Structure 1
């Protein structure tokens, strides 16, 4: 049995006699030695009246990330539960983030990668309190600000119509949500086969969760910090690459909804695929593509109107 440290005792002071986690924080990290301390401190500053655990997955980092995680795991042995990979799972195409959800003990999951961090110590308490009282909601989220190594800040992360609650259908349509801010019910134990190999998994999570309820935007939680840096898997990709990654996710969501017989969502995501493909090609190619589509539609319409011809 782990011996409780003074730091851990202070963290657990408001948990009473309960030790089974009500919430699991899932953190994926890779070569985040310059950032992971700030991430873990953001977790450990959380003031809650319920127990939580921190599952930190190090994907075979080649820097000092694993050593820093070991340091924190020694200080908080009952709370921080590290997983160290010997071979990089991302390069193998393993969707390890979703697999971690299945290993999480909590009724709820909060997600934050090892290069981002939370700023509000009330975050988890406010989100769990809401979900405990509102069974028709499957997830909560709040705002974040973006910043880079030069200290340049762009805020807020969510603007306009996205700074609001989301209906279940909007979630199913993969409505944008600031991923490092989410807290959701632990319902995603595995991915449908169609989504294996998808890189932009978070929009797939929201779509799958939408089958179980609505999303709540909690404005009073202070914005979390989304770091843009050279090692970022998504943020530092070119605009064209990001469009391609998102298009791939939409196409596979379309395949999933086609298989389960949801024609409306299948058609919605196929339209998104078409729109993203158009956005990623040159203006001349775009005109040619639209012309070809119009020609195909005209031919099919003519065949319907002139049977036997």
Structure 2
């Protein structure tokens, strides 16, 4: 668990972890990135007063590291066989969450990561069941290729993964979106399992990424894709991500954010023909005209 200036939420996050009922030992690695609010005192009081407070290994950073550097620090201090994540503004709602996910990974060596559905909590107090996964991606088993093609369909407080290959480079620290970068690294080593049960709540609009504007989120996601595509070991995944980068530059970002190289490439007639045939292009134009004018044939 990492946190920074999340005094309003941090106690609920910690309690959700410490209330877990497991037939194995676990500990909470909690790294506070030099918060300026009351987070430190709330954390200390929660550890002191909770019966399982002794499970917490608490670090208060003397100087602000930044989100991904703080996450790297926390992950490097995890000594267990498995790692679960829950940032300081989210919380777990099922006391058997860890047990269920660890049981699955123990029985299925070919899976590297297990995640589950979450409730999405908006700032006005309304809750929606995991709309992104439900509407966009609803497979039980997936792979790194799905993750590359569909984007980040995994919410951070839902994951448990094997702790056997976390060597995070400086590129991870540079990445605007750390969790997606991490999921790609992990899924190079095995399949991904989705459990349909809702076992955590994800707050939207209060974290670093979800509180950004749509334009800013698109730019941050693009920057993350560029870093991953340049450093991922799997060449097919790298190519998929590069295609997504081109698509984002053309379809998602405003004109002034598209770099001149891309504009030059797009102005070249060979650009389109390298992706689709002339026949497909003509059919697509025909379908668009047909829909626009509601022609009946």
TM-score category of the 2 structures, normalised to the smaller one: 0.7 to 0.9
Kept in 1, the 8 Å contact 2:148–2:240? The answer is: no
Match of 1:239 among 214, 231, 254: 214
- Partners in 2 of 1:194 and 1:156 — Cα distance? 29
Q: Is residue 172–residue 210 contact of structure 1 (8 Å, CA) maintained in 2? A: no
SS in 1 for 2:34: coil
Q: The residue matched to 1:208 in structure 2 has which SS?
A: helix
Note the C-alpha offset of 1:227.
Answer: 1.2
> Which digits, 9 at most, give the CA deviation of each residue in 1:165-201, with x for residues without a partner?
2124334655521221001111343223433311201
SS at match of 1:145: strand
Which of residues 157, 181, 191 is equivalent to 2:168? 191
Unaligned runs of 5+ in 1: 1-26, 302-309
* Bigger mean CA offset, 203-212 vs 67-76: 67-76
Checking the alignment, whether the CA contact within 8 Å between 2:119 and 2:198 is kept in structure 1 is no
The 5-angstrom pairing of residues 30-179 of structure 1 reads: 30-75=4-49, 76-90=52-66, 95-157=69-131, 158-160=133-135, 162-164=137-139, 165-171=141-147, 175-179=152-156
TM-score, structure 2 normalization: 0.81
In the alignment, which of 281, 284, 292 is matched to residue 254 of structure 2?
281
* Structure 2 SS opposite 1:143: strand
- The structure carrying a bigger helix percent of its residues is 2
Match of 1:297 in 2: 270
Distance 1:177 1:169, change over 3 A: same
Match of 1:51, SS state, is: coil
Contact 2:3-2:87 at 8 Å conserved across structures? yes
TM-score by length of 1: 0.78
Which among 194, 200, 206 is matched to residue 183 of structure 2? 206
Measured in 2, the distance between the counterparts of 1:155 and 1:197 equals 31
Which residue among 239, 250, 254 is the counterpart of 1:267?
239
Q: How far apart are the structure 1 equivalents of 2:165 and 2:73?
A: 9
Tell me the CA shift for residue 204 of structure 1. Answer: 0.9
Work out the number of aligned pairs and report it.
265
> The residue matched to 1:63 in structure 2 has which SS?
coil
Asked if the contact 1:175/1:203 (under 8 Å) is kept, the reply is yes
* Structure 2: gaps (5+ residues): 275-297
Task: Determine the structure 2 residue equivalent to 1:215.
Answer: 192
Distance in 2 (CA, whole Å) between partners of 1:216 and 1:120 is 18
Contact conserved, 1:162 with 1:177, CA < 8 A, in 2?
A: no
Please tell me whether residue 226 in structure 1 is matched to residue 202 in structure 2.
yes
